[in-house]
């Protein structure tokens, strides 16, 4: 199969990757491409919706690269064992231990605090001179950052330093800078876990330190560090982009914004699901590795290959969604892959949905004339093809 440079179509891929995914999908659901990873090596990219669902659950497409063979330069994201980079039975064990504490009840108990933080941030935003702000700095970043830090029990985290580390980990084109950020963040979390073990509280991280399975199994210190890394990174980066991408979509579609304003109770939940489908926070899932030859969409992916599932490509597949490039908050929401599918479905999805709904409703109710700020300049897109979003979102009211 020929290798396609997905970023060479002549348009701005960062601004509109969907056209490139559509062009690929028109000739088949699975392709060998360059331009979607941190290196120049060809990888396999899945852009069809049905094939993406199959890939996300295929037992021969593994997450632990050591299972599939030696990959030059591949390292653990956190330097430790996480659910994101493990397979059954190890993944099953980790997820079971996490799920004992990261429960629906614990998430739902955060609702009043999420509302309070949102209201405080909107108060501060409304008090700004000039009736303008960068929405990411004012709301989309500090809300999920505050919530996940308080949930884990790290309210005194240096937010700016952490945001710097996190951005380098998920959206840096420099392996050296990303690796250094990972090392610094991991060293910070090692100290945090030691401090929590010595003086536990009622937070989630303390609960994870204490939790025991029926057979006495518990998370090791390395697993706790990896889990804290994963929850902190995934627990805020995705929600930042859910909120900011959702606001961008609404402001670009005034008819949909007007419909939502007229019926928050009836349309808000579906609107958030359509935001996730239309322009979700994660563009491409993290790597999978073929531990055997795998057939997807009539294409045989050889054993030992790197496979990337394009969540953005799959969620614009016309075979699954009628008029997929149309933003329609009344669309039936079932079936999008923004949170993944199968064993690795995002464990934090209920929290992200709650934060998104509270933040969007609060923002739109507080600022009925919210609009893009023309003085803000063109959008600056996050680097790389893992996350989907902008670094700034200038708005006025």
Instruction: Please measure the distance between the N-terminal and C-terminal CA atoms of the chain and give it in whole angstroms.
Output: 52
Q: What is the CATH number of the domain that holds 225?
A: 1.10.630.10
Structural domain count of the chain: 1
pLDDT at residue 285 greater than cutoff 50: yes
Decide: 370 and 251 in contact? Cβ < 8 Å: yes
Q: What is the mean pLDDT of residues 24-45?
A: 89
pLDDT of res. 77: 47
If one compares 353 and 78, the residue with the highest pLDDT of the two is 353
- List the domain range (segments joined by +) for residue 69: 3-396
Closest CA to 209 of 303, 128, 101, 133: 101
pLDDT at residue 384 greater than cutoff 90: no
pLDDT at residue 76 greater than cutoff 70: no
d(CA 114, CA 142): 11
The DSSP output letter for 298 is: T
pLDDT tens digit sequence for 252-281: 999 999 999 999 999 999 999 999 999 999
The rounded mean pLDDT for the chain is: 89
Q: What is the DSSP string of 75-144?
A: --SSSS--GGG--TTHHHHHHHHHHTTS-HHHHHHTHHHHHHHHHHHHHHHHTSTTSEEEHIIIIITHHH
Identify the helix (H) or strand (E) that includes residue 274: helix 264-279
Of the chain, the percentage scoring pLDDT greater than 90 comes to 60
pLDDT of res. 73: 38
Identify the helix (H) or strand (E) that includes residue 309: strand 306-309
pLDDT tens digit sequence for 14-29: 899 999 999 999 999 9
Q: What is the mean pLDDT of residues 108-116?
A: 96
pLDDT at residue 165 greater than cutoff 90: no
Q: In this structure, what are the phi and psi dihedrals at residue 165, rounded to the nearest 5 degrees?
A: -60, -50
Closest CA to 248 of 37, 123, 392: 392
The token pair at 295 is 């057939």
């Amino acid at each position: 199969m020929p290798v396609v440079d997905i970023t060479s179509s002549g348009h701005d891929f960062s601004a509109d990757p969907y056209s490139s995914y559509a062009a690929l999908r028109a000739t088949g659901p699975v392709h060998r491409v360059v331009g979607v990873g941190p290196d120049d090596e060809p990888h396999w990219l899945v852009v069809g919706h049905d094939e993406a669902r199959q890939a996300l659950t295929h037992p021969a497409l593994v997450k632990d690269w050591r299972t599939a063979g030696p990959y030059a330069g591949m390292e653990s994201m956190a330097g430790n064992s996480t659910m994101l980079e493990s397979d059954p039975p190890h993944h099953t064990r980790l997820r079971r231990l996490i799920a004992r504490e990261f429960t629906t009840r614990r998430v739902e108990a955060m609702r009043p605090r999420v509302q309070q933080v949102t209201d405080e941030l909107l108060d501060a935003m409304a008090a700004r001179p000039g009736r303008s702000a960068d929405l990411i700095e004012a709301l989309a970043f500090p809300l999920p950052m505050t919530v996940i830090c308080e949930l884990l029990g790290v309210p005194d985290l240096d937010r700016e330093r952490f945001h710097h580390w996190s951005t380098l980990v998920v959206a840096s084109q420099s392996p050296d800078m990303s690796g250094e950020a990972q090392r610094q963040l991991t060293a910070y979390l090692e100290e945090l876990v030691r401090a929590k073990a010595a003086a536990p509280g009622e937070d989630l991280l303390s609960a994870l330190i204490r939790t025991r399975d029926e057979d006495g199994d518990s998370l090791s210190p390395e697993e706790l560090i990896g889990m804290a890394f994963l929850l902190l990174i995934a627990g805020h980066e995705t929600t930042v982009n859910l909120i900011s991408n959702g606001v961008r979509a609404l402001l670009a579609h005034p008819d949909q914004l007007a419909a939502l304003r007229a019926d928050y109770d009836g349309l808000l939940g579906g609107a958030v699901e359509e935001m996730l489908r239309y322009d979700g926070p994660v563009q491409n899932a993290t790597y999978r590795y073929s531990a055997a030859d795998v057939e997807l969409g009539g294409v045989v992916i050889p054993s030992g290959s790197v496979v990337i599932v394009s969540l953005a490509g799959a969620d614009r597949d016309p075979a699954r969604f009628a008029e997929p490039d149309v933003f329609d908050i009344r669309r039936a929401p079932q079936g999008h892959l923004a949170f993944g599918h199968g064993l690795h479905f995002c464990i934090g999805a209920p929290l992200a949905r709650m934060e998104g709904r509270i933040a969007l409703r609060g923002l739109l109710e507080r600022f009925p004339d919210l609009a893009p700020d023309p003085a803000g300049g063109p959008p600056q897109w996050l680097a790389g093809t893992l996350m989907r979003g902008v670094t700034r979102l200038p708005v006025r009211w």
